[in-house]
Amino acid sequence: MKQSIKPRPQIDLLADGILQGNRMMLSQAITIIESNLAEDQKLSSGLLDKIIHATGNSIRIGITGVPGVGKSSFIEAFGKYIINLGKRVAVLAVDPSSQLSKGSILGDKTRMEELSKNSAAYVRPSPAGNKLGGVAHSTYETILLCEAAGFDIIIVETVGVGQSEVSVKNVTDFFLLLMLAGAGDELQGMKKGITEIADALVITKADHDNVKHATAAKAAYQQALHLQPLARSGWIPGVLTASAHTGEGIGEIWKLILSFTEQTMSTGFFHDNRRQQGMEYFEDRFKSILYSEVENSPALQAEKEKLKHEIQQQKISPTRAAEMLLIAFHREAGMRKF
């Protein structure tokens, strides 16, 4: 469990600071949002109340790919490119490895060094929390905070393992999948169904000797994508090649993202999708609050353990046990003032 920041700034001051684009206050707010302490969770809601009116004005881009595909190099090149166009960029790097190894795949090396130093950029590594390979519960709120702080483009980066792609998709507008050329794996992504949720596939490292392989991989993906059903957005995914080293393809990717937003805004999908994501997050959050009420109550934990034991002894069915836990929950809740 994390330590909360002390001395803790007044929530009003923190909200004002964020709205003025103060990145130190933004960092403090994100730390509070990421905290599991009950008192910090209350502060988080208070803070979000004060900034929610200033959220929503960004393009949220999810970027995923296997370790070594070139995510951090790509984000560095892409981030610098859009900063040169006058945009402000926030990068939230969600690290799925942290609770497995207690170390970090994303954090071990210096990543996005130049971007981190740029005053128009904000780079924040985040633990994946208790969702294995997924996006931290706080990522959605962190996106809102970054928008309130005036960032136009929010990039959510995650390593492509397990369900992380789906979680990233659920909090972003545009989902970019980075792929390596060659290695005989052109169609590997297709099997896993990842490409079905991608709005663009980018073959990385398309430079020097690798240009030929990258171009061949692009053609193979384009071919294969034709067979996929049309996405809910009505958008046909783009397949591109890019090099973070030469800058080749970076501008085309930005153009593609702009045409995606233009198209989906004109059909209404863009905002419908955002609204749906908000609803799904509300449902998820409510479930996790309910669950943590049980987890944090010693009396309910004891009841749960007792019921588990009785299930194992075949004294009670899991169905009945779940109902009894709910009855115990109501009893507990009735004794408590919220």
Interface ranges with ligand GDP (CB under 6 A):
65, 67-73, 204-205, 207, 243-245
Minimum distance from CB of 90 to ligand GDP (Å)? 17
Distance CA 311, CA 305 (A): 10
Comparison of 178 and 256: residue with beta carbon closer to ligand GDP: 178
Nearest-approach distance from CB 243 to ligand GDP, in angstroms:
4
Residue 296, both tokens: 């944090």
Residue among 113 and 305 whose Cβ is closer to ligand GDP: 113
CB of 207 to ligand GDP, least distance (A): 5
Q: Which is nearer to ligand GDP, 18 or 214 (CB)?
A: 214
CB of 125 to ligand GDP, least distance (A): 12
Min separation Cβ 142 and ligand GDP, Å = 20
Looking at the Cβ atoms of 44 and 204, the one nearer to ligand GDP is 204
Half-sphere exposure of 225 (CA within 13 A, CB side): 23
- Helix, strand or coil for residue 90? strand
- Helical segments of the chain, H only: 11-19, 23-34, 38-51, 71-84, 98-101, 113-117, 139-148, 164-169, 188-192, 211-225, 250-267, 269-295, 298-312, 318-335
Question: Which lies closer to ligand GDP via its Cβ, residue 23 or residue 245?
Answer: 245
Q: Of 39, 111, 36, give the one whose Cα is nearest residue 75.
A: 111
| Residue type at position 183 | A
d(CA 27, CA 152): 17
Closest CA relative to residue 50, chosen from 15, 10, 14, 8? 15
CB of 13 to ligand GDP, least distance (A): 36
Give residue 321's identity as a one-letter amino acid code.
A
Q: Which helix (H) or strand (E) segment is 240 a member of?
A: strand 238-241
Q: Would you say 172 or 210 has its CB closer to ligand GDP?
A: 210
